[in-house]
A and B are shown apart, each in its own frame.
Chain A
Amino acid sequence: MVKLDEAKDSPRTGDYIIEDNKVRLHASRCPSCGAVFYPRRNNCSADATSPLEEIALSSGGTVYTFTVARQSTPEFKTPYVLAYVDFKEDVRVLLPFDADEPPVIGAAVEIVMAAGPRITDGGLVSIPHARLQR
């Protein structure tokens, strides 16, 4: 697993890094109990250990579950697909899905930058999404 300080030449924006066009989410791991958290935290929510190790998650995972949100709060452009993605680093992360069609449970995905689904002042902003592995 690459530690973030070993990847310091990569462009880093908020809670992820981009390496060779691959998006790796920036997470925290508890050195005591091993719990992994995304987004990052300063302490472990399971046992209050602090500080935590910074890690970059793999650039892909598998779909644990998904839905198509067809009704939402006003700041979202519906419909949009959401998925919980399981990473081999033992953490589950909610991500918007970069496709109009929903995936199936267990599908292999990669993490990419894509626009939406939240509408901000300038329109849809590019954030990490899950996409079926190509």
Chain B
Amino acid sequence: MEDIFVLGIGMTPFGKHPDSSAADLGAQAVNLALADAGLGGKEIEAAWVGHVFQGMAMGQRALYAAGLSGIPIDNVENACSSGSTAIWDATLALRAGAYDVVLALGVEHMTTAFRGALAPDPSDIEAQLGLTMPGIYAMRAQRYMVQYGVAPQDIAKIAVKNKRNAAMNPLSHFKKAVTLDEVMQGRLIADPLRLHECAPISDGAAAVVLVSKAKLKELGGTRAIKLAASALRSGRTEVGLVDMTVEDLTWRTAQAAYEQAGVGPGEIGFAEVHDCFSIAEALRVEGMGLVPHGEYVARVAKGEMDLDGILPVNGSGGLLGKGHPLGATGVAQVVEIVKQLRGEAGERQIANAKIGVAHCRGGKAQGVEGTACTVNILVA
């Protein structure tokens, strides 16, 4: 398979942007990515744009605001994995040889589109019974605690780590570290999860310019990072009494990515994973086979997932600290990994960063384990 490279990255600050529209934020990310790639807008041949709550043709509005029009633009919705699904779509087009320079953008203006707890689609019976996203993860956390003998404060340490990292990221929604006491004194959202353990409602956008190997040769860029794998899977029908602490969807997606990249879980140096809630990070890192089931929170307590640990996780601050503008999240994870692999992560730079993985997993739909999951592997 022909190699694909990330040539340019761009990302707005995540947070509350009352004075910018989603299109403004999208345009800002696109223009930053183009400038970073050293390309003009006219060189982009096609674009995929991930968003969830932005309504019709967000992609066209954002690209028009950025000064791009007329090219093929595909709007992509795949719950919280919308942005990373846009990347996956773009890789398929490059691999098919249809284009040599494409754009993937993720954008979301959550503060105008959403209020309260995020919930599954209202047509699902579970949503009608009161199931929310915090509720789903809280119930998985309750199981995790019983099955593996851990306490709420053990899980809460994930939030402490991620917010500490976020404080070092100038683009983060939250720029203040929190102590374990502060997390444990936070208001309960869904027992045992407390406020700091739930991703915030954020606005923001992130974009990447992807190029074929042939195009990279022609341009001669030296900061390009190889996108060694991009995998997408969806959740299987849940039949019977399955273990809700084990993510089959995450495992199948990660396996596909490992195979594509030709790397095993043991070679992964650092990860950005979908920590929409504190417990989610544990389920995902274990789900990808990076840590045995039930051991994650003990590893976090030992500092193994810190920036200077053996497997730094969510060095960007993750969704908990950096923020979670749904459509933008999956692209922002890839942006962070590229920064780390280029050695441009500043204060939060991971020493000897060589292979990074981005895991993004979206949503809940009635009857299936999860909606969409992507795993992208990048190699310096």
List residues of chain A with CB under 8 Å of any chain B CB: 33, 35-37, 39, 45-46, 64-74, 76, 80, 82, 84, 86, 90-92, 94-96, 102, 105, 117-118, 127
A105/B146 contact (C-beta < 8 A), A70-B187, A82-B129 known: yes
Q: For the complex, what is the distance from the CA of A64 to the CA of B240, rounded to whole Å?
A: 12
Cβ distance A70 to chain B, nearest Cβ, rounded Å? 5
Residue contacts A-B, CB under 8 angstroms, 26 given? A33-B239, A37-B367, A39-B125, A45-B368, A46-B239, A64-B241, A67-B190, A69-B135, A71-B116, A72-B119, A73-B117, A73-B119, A74-B116, A82-B129, A82-B135, A84-B139, A84-B244, A90-B240, A91-B240, A94-B126, A94-B129, A94-B131, A96-B129, A117-B130, A118-B129, A127-B129
Which of B135, B187, B244 is within 8 Å of A67, CB to CB?
B135
A35/B237 contact (C-beta < 8 A), A67-B139, A67-B142, A70-B188 known: yes
Q: For the complex, what is the distance from the CA of A5 to the CA of B247, rounded to whole Å?
A: 38
Q: For the complex, what is the distance from the CA of A49 to the CA of B21, rounded to whole Å?
A: 47
**B189 is an interface residue with CB less than 8 A from chain A:** yes
Residues from chain A with Cβ under 8 Å of B142 in the complex: 65-67, 105
For B118, the closest partner residue in chain A by CB is: A73
Which of A65, A73, A92 is within 8 Å of B132, CB to CB?
A73
Residues from chain A with Cβ under 8 Å of B187 in the complex: 70
**B321 is an interface residue with CB less than 8 A from chain A:** no
Interface positions of B from 233 to 274, Cβ below 8 Å from A: 237-242, 244
Residues from chain B with Cβ under 8 Å of A102 in the complex: 191
Q: Quick check: B239 and A69 within 8 Å, CB to CB? A: no
Q: Quick check: B143 and A105 within 8 Å, CB to CB? A: yes
A65/B241 contact (C-beta < 8 A), A73-B116, A82-B135, A118-B129 known: no
10 nearest interchain CB pairs? A67-B138, A45-B237, A35-B239, A65-B139, A68-B191, A67-B190, A65-B143, A65-B142, A46-B237, A94-B126
**B179 is an interface residue with CB less than 8 A from chain A:** no
A35/B240 contact (C-beta < 8 A), A66-B142, A73-B116, A82-B135 known: yes
Q: Mark B160-204, 1 if CB is under 8 A from A, else 0.
A: 000000000000000000000000000111110000000000000
Looking at chain A's contact residues, is the secondary structure mostly helix, strand, loop, or mixed? strand
Q: Quick check: B116 and A118 within 8 Å, CB to CB? A: no
A64/B244 contact (C-beta < 8 A), A72-B117, A73-B132, A96-B129 known: yes
Interface positions of B from 136 to 158, Cβ below 8 Å from A: 138-140, 142-143, 146
Q: For the complex, what is the distance from the CA of A132 to the CA of B126, rounded to whole Å?
A: 21
Q: Quick check: A96 and B125 within 8 Å, CB to CB? A: no
Q: Quick check: A71 and B146 within 8 Å, CB to CB? A: no
Interface positions of B from 109 to 124, Cβ below 8 Å from A: 115-117, 119
**B26 is an interface residue with CB less than 8 A from chain A:** no
Residues from chain A with Cβ under 8 Å of B135 in the complex: 67, 69, 72, 82
**B128 is an interface residue with CB less than 8 A from chain A:** yes
Cβ distance A117 to chain B, nearest Cβ, rounded Å? 5
Residues from chain A with Cβ under 8 Å of B190 in the complex: 67-71
Cβ distance A102 to chain B, nearest Cβ, rounded Å? 7
**B323 is an interface residue with CB less than 8 A from chain A:** no
Q: For the complex, what is the distance from the CA of A35 to the CA of B367, rounded to whole Å?
A: 12
Q: Quick check: B241 and A118 within 8 Å, CB to CB? A: no
Cβ distance A72 to chain B, nearest Cβ, rounded Å? 5
Cβ distance A6 to chain B, nearest Cβ, rounded Å? 25
- Among A33, A67, A76, A117: residue with most chain B CB under 10 A: A67
Q: For the complex, what is the distance from the CA of A73 to the CA of B187, rounded to whole Å?
A: 17
Q: For the complex, what is the distance from the CA of A46 to the CA of B239, rounded to whole Å?
A: 8
Q: For the complex, what is the distance from the CA of A92 to the CA of B237, rounded to whole Å?
A: 13
Residues from chain A with Cβ under 8 Å of B117 in the complex: 69, 71-73
Q: For the complex, what is the distance from the CA of A64 to the CA of B139, rounded to whole Å?
A: 9
Q: Quick check: A92 and B241 within 8 Å, CB to CB? A: yes
A65/B244 contact (C-beta < 8 A), A35-B239, A37-B367, A46-B237 known: yes
Q: Quick check: B130 and A82 within 8 Å, CB to CB? A: yes
Q: For the complex, what is the distance from the CA of A65 to the CA of B140, rounded to whole Å?
A: 7
Cβ distance A74 to chain B, nearest Cβ, rounded Å? 6
For A44, the closest partner residue in chain B by CB is: B237
Q: For the complex, what is the distance from the CA of A107 to the CA of B307, rounded to whole Å?
A: 42
Q: For the complex, what is the distance from the CA of A37 to the CA of B142, rounded to whole Å?
A: 24
Q: Quick check: A69 and B129 within 8 Å, CB to CB? A: no
Residues from chain B with Cβ under 8 Å of A117 in the complex: 129-130
